[in-house]
Amino acid sequence: MQAMRSSNGAVEVLVGYAADAGGGVAYARLTGPHCSDLLRFDFRSSCPAAHADHAAAYAALTAVARALAKRKIRNASFVIADAQFVDEIVTGRNVSEAYAIPYVRLRCALNALAAFSVRVGSVDDLAQRARAEVALNVAA
């Protein structure tokens, strides 16, 4: 599944994230013609605990997309593990009312890029890293 705007020659951005009640950590591994980086982001989400995982996905990807725009990266190909989330943001269908505002925020952040795509892929190492950090912060 890919978003509508072509992203040929894009920076590939693998995104893994984890969250607890209200806050989380996202990691993004960027690889492309002129960059190779691992970035870390803190984010906040304000959905009920029952929807925390999905809310974290919206907040994490929004934080990453905004950071890419600030870094003057204009062409990105995002890879995320959650197939349902990817389908939701790519098609715009079946977006729950609880996610209407996070969806709009995310699409605004993505539309700030000249071109982008979003697809499902493995980001296990990044997600595990984020989960470990969130678990350590909760325990501290």
Domain for residue 25, yes or no?
yes
pLDDT at position 14: 97
pLDDT at position 132: 94
Domain for residue 3, yes or no?
no
Total domains in the fold of the chain:
1
Q: Are strands 75-80 and 115-120 parallel, antiparallel or unpaired?
A: parallel
The parts of the chain modelled with pLDDT lower than 50 are 1-6, 139-140
SS3 content of the chain, % helix, strand, coil (to 5): 45, 30, 25
Domain for residue 1, yes or no?
no
Domain for residue 2, yes or no?
no
pLDDT at position 2: 42
pLDDT at position 33: 79
Token pair 């974290």: residue: 56
pLDDT at position 120: 96
Looking at the DSSP bridge assignments, the partners of residue 43 are 24
Domain range for 108 is: 11-139
CATH number at residue 134: 3.30.420.10
What radius of gyration, in Å, describes the C-alpha atoms of the chain?
14
